[in-house]
């Protein structure tokens, strides 16, 4: 078991909190560096007392370097970002957080290169073009990146920036492109609405959703957290890439609704075929399997069952089996 310290930016957020839990489970000390001091998710995961919380802003380079140095962090997991909806609503803030903030993280690793061994950071499947631009089936890391959102555009910049930092400064950086994250306590992001396919029926409410036969990559948040730890732990000598696709299980909206009904037989979900999803979902992750040893533990049935069980328990409802 390790006794090293990991600084997690965005450490009180959805993925950040689960990443903190995964790191603690594997023996790391965790410092959550976040503008938000809302520890609700950390508390629900039972780790709030095990995480050192530092209120800080990734757009403040002095605070970031100072905190990293004072805590003795040997790794940084950089998750702080304005997601799709937030970036669309406030483009200037998106530039500051997603681009300047990531620059500050990379600069922290450069300034403290005798202390910080590696930075694992969050890119996104949002860097890819909409599905119609890919004529073949699976999309790998060498395929066209052509985002149609400000969020995706900022991540493309980060990816090119990371290449330069590695080549010019020798900083060890590894980025991941997660897809649609789901699990208890997600509230933000462009795909957060998909949670209602699970959450509404879990609490006995009806729900209507579009995009029936379109494919989604459903990635349970616990698996995403483990992917960031694996990226953080795997040295550059064992990696053939600096950016990796990571995914969960592919299923259409209609198939996902059917799994919910199999868990909750009286679930009232209406699925239509209208609308078109903007995200590319058929991501090849053979490189992450080979280099990082990443293999998701949760298929849809297991992930949905655990998600529904948490929601029903919190609402005082009978559990599902």
- What DSSP string runs through 2-60? ---EEEEETTTSHHHHHHHHHHHHTT-EEEEEES----HHHHHTT-GGGEEEEE--TT-
Q: What is the CATH number of the domain that holds 71?
A: 3.40.50.720
Q: Is 142 helix (H, G, I), strand (E, B) or coil?
A: coil
Q: How far is Cα 79 from Cα 178, in angstroms, rounded to an integer?
A: 11
Q: How far is Cα 73 from Cα 105, in angstroms, rounded to an integer?
A: 13
- Considering the domain architecture, whether residues 49 and 67 belong to the same structural domain is answered as yes
Residue 168 lies in a domain: yes
Q: Count of domains in the chain? A: 2
Question: Which CA distances in Å does 172 have to 28, 186, 250, 275, 276?
Answer: 19, 30, 31, 41, 38
Residue 282 lies in a domain: no
Across residues 254-278, what is the average pLDDT?
Answer: 92
Residue 170 lies in a domain: yes
Q: What's the whole-number average pLDDT of the chain?
A: 94
Q: How far is Cα 310 from Cα 96, in angstroms, rounded to an integer?
A: 35
- Considering the domain architecture, whether residues 272 and 131 belong to the same structural domain is answered as no
Across residues 94-100, what is the average pLDDT?
Answer: 97
Torsion sign, CA atoms 245, 250, 254, 256 = negative
Question: Which CA distances in Å does 127 have to 50, 231, 257, 279?
Answer: 34, 19, 27, 9
Across residues 222-240, what is the average pLDDT?
Answer: 97
Token representation of residue 288: 């992450």
User: Which letter does DSSP use for residue 265 in this model?
Assistant: T
- Considering the domain architecture, whether residues 152 and 270 belong to the same structural domain is answered as no
Q: Which domain holds residue 304?
A: 181-217+248-277+297-314
Across residues 34-62, what is the average pLDDT?
Answer: 97
Place 244 in a pLDDT band, splitting at 50, 70 and 90.
very high
Place 190 in a pLDDT band, splitting at 50, 70 and 90.
low
Task: Report the b/e string of 245-283 with b at 16+ CB within 10 A.
Answer: bbbbbebbbbbbbebbeebbeebebebeeeeebbbbbbb
Q: What is the CATH number of the domain that holds 200?
A: 3.90.25.10
Place 1 in a pLDDT band, splitting at 50, 70 and 90.
very low
Residue 289 lies in a domain: no
Return the half-sphere exposure (C-beta side, CA atoms, 13 A cut-off) of residue 108.
31
Q: What is the pLDDT of residue 189?
A: 64
Q: What is the pLDDT of residue 321?
A: 74
Residue 134 lies in a domain: yes
Of the listed ranges 162-176, 178-192, 284-298, the least confidently predicted one is 178-192
Q: What is the pLDDT of residue 2?
A: 55
Place 129 in a pLDDT band, splitting at 50, 70 and 90.
confident
Place 132 in a pLDDT band, splitting at 50, 70 and 90.
confident
């Amino acid at each position: 078991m390790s006794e090293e310290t990991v600084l997690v930016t965005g450490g009180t957020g959805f993925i950040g909190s689960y990443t903190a839990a995964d790191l603690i489970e594997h023996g790391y000390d965790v410092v959550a560096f976040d503008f938000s001091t809302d520890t609700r998710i950390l508390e629900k995961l039972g780790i709030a007392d095990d995480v050192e919380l530092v209120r800080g802003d990734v757009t403040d380079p002095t605070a970031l370097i100072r905190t990293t140095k004072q805590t003795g962090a040997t790794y940084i997991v950089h998750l702080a970002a304005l997601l799709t909806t937030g970036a669309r609503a406030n483009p200037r803030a998106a530039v500051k957080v997603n681009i300047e903030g990531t620059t500050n993280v990379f600069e922290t690793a450069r300034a403290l290169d005798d202390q910080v061994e590696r930075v694992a950071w969050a890119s996104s499947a949002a860097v890819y073009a909409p599905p119609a631009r890919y004529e073949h089936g699976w999309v790998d890391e060498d395929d066209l990146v052509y985002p149609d959102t400000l969020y995706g555009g900022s991540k493309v910049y980060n990816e090119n920036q990371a290449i330069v930092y590695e080549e010019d400064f020798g900083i060890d950086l590894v980025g991941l492109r997660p897809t649609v994250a789901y699990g208890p306590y997600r509230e933000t992001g462009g795909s957060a609405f998909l949670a209602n396919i699970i959450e509404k029926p879990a609490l006995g409410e009806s729900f209507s959703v579009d995009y029936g036969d379109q494919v989604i990559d459903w990635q349970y948040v616990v698996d995403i957290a483990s992917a960031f730890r694996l990226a953080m732990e795997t040295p550059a000598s064992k990696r053939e890439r600096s950016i990796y696709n990571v995914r969960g299980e592919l299923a259409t909206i209609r198939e996902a609704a059917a799994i919910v009904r199999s868990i909750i037989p009286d679930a009232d979900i209406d699925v239509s075929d209208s609308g078109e999803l903007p995200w590319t979902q058929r991501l090849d992750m053979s490189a992450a399997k080979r280099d990082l040893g990443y293999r998701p533990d949760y298929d849809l049935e297991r992930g949905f069952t655990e998600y529904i069980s948490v929601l029903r328990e919190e609402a005082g409802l009978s559990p599902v089996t």
